[in-house]
Chains A and B, each alone.
Chain A
Amino acid sequence: MKKFVSIALAAMLIIAMAGCSQSEAPAATTAAPAQTEAQAVAQTQVPETAALTGTVATDGSTSMEKVIGALGESFMEANSGVNFTYNPTGSGTGITAVSEGRCDIGLSSRALKDDEKASGLVETVLAYDGIAVIVNPANGVEDLSLEQIAKIYTGEITNWSEVGGSDAEIVLIGREAGSGTRSGFEEIVEVKDKCLYRQELTSTGDVITAVSQNPDAIGYASLASVKDSVKALKVAGVAPSEETVKDGTYLIQRPFVLVTKEGVTLSPVAQAFFDYATGGEANDIITAAGVVPVN
């Protein structure tokens, strides 16, 4: 009996505590938006459209997770009635999904093929993802062709002297399986699943640190996060920068594409998201996600 009483009392105590925290909750949520920059940006930039409600369904590229997630979050923040969903299935699946009407906007991390365009799909480039190939500042090599990079990463070229550097073994540094930067790099350079890495690190920062510590290392990192502690190589004579990524002369880059279907009118809420993402208002958020906005 005593035990029962004590347990019941303890349970009541917990319920009472839960009650307290519930009454505090609204204050916490109202304070939160001011804390993150992205959300603050969203609030100032998105025009207060008259109470948008409904669902925006996106489907496709896993590499776009970061940028589309940030955009979706800020859009939902500004329009409380909107439910934004993102289904990370891969570019091909996303394109199929939009052509079959299973989602509002398809997400593709490659340009549409001609036959896909012919079937009535429309591509709108949201941003460009540029990937810089980085080496240690002490490395004498300045410029590599795409083919040389592919040979280096597949182990055909193993010594820096073969590409004009000093006589030292090349140390390949990359990202972990599943990373968007890794899949982007491997797709563009066409070395998918063939890379013989010496180190697989879990963040861009770690890759940059590892390359800055080893004079014979080569790595890759998204363009936005490259720092002075490493040297970004020219690829086929073009140095990576926002401009060269945008005009397409820098080769290791890919477009992040919003795919829609010709003749199908987007729901008002999906159209509002589309305009928000591509209209230049959300450029800060896109840049913060590590890619180069188009507008």
Chain B
Amino acid sequence: MTRELWKGNNAIAEAAVRAGCAAYFGYPITPQTELLEYMSARMPQLGRAFVQAESELAAINMVYGAACTGTRVMSSSSSPGVSLMMEGVSYIAGTEIPAVLVDVMRGGPGLGNIAPAQSDYNQIVHGGGHGDYNLIVLAPSSVQESVDLTVLAFDLAEKYRSICVVLLDGSIGQMMEPAEMPPFQPLRTEYPDWAVTGAKDRERRFLSSIYLDPPQEEAANLRMLRRWQEVQANEIRYKTYYMEDAKFAVIGFGSSGRVALTAVRAARAEGIPVGLLRPITLNPFPEKVVEDLAKQVEGILVVEMNSGQMLEDIRRIAKGAAPVEFFARLGGIVPLPDEVLDEIRRLAKGPLTLEGHPRDRWLARMGTLN
């Protein structure tokens, strides 16, 4: 295995290149700018398309156009830029064509800051753009996983004619870790039977998200929903640690998940039987896993870098089978392992309750901080 030391953002860019990405369109924004810079050198070197667009809005619409040709295409941005892209995201979803989007989240709302955050979970997992649609959302927690999931993102996007988002926070984009790059895939030379390639020796094709006739729009919505059921049935991914004999469970994705891993190990060293679930697909969400886990354990701790956006999903899925507690740092602060360890100790010590809302209890505890 040949490992090289890669910065997260650069690694994602190279992985996309190797996955056969033929066109990249983007706009500079911290903390994902290295990805755009890497592509600006790498894509022309390989004779592939690179455009630094005038805005994220233009970038996503360039992606939209390129995606209509059935080629592998991507963009990347960070929270405020992704907000601007939501128009194109909805149109691409409505046109049922594949594209890959990398969102390196930063602190918000508004201009916020450039530090790592996970506060766009709801925007990406539960919507963002207008209309009924689902995005496939992959949440890596390391540089190697960012590489692997970027390649997977292109495959899944194509397989389900969907946008696939690689959702990470700024710290994974900025950190360096050893990673092994995937093999080079050749650029595609054949195009899918829906792509616009010029109407040579065939009927003309037309790609749009417009269905002025409501029954037709309903049919399109149902078609997308049935395709989504396939995604739900086939593509759920997650990782568990120390769960076999666990009486308590921590749930966190991306950076929160790996911070929690350090805390879980420390808690285990203290004799606390705690395990970790790290969802990798945030959409579709590993619901069955959470449901079973809630039946197994005496208490769940959800750790996020947002105010409890995934927490609401966990509560909905756990259905009161186990008490849920919550811990988060906001505004661009990454929780440290010792903070999470304290929370695990508190969880193990009890008493736990099904009453009230975990966010309220966490906020009360945070009261001493601010």
Q: Does B bind A?
A: no
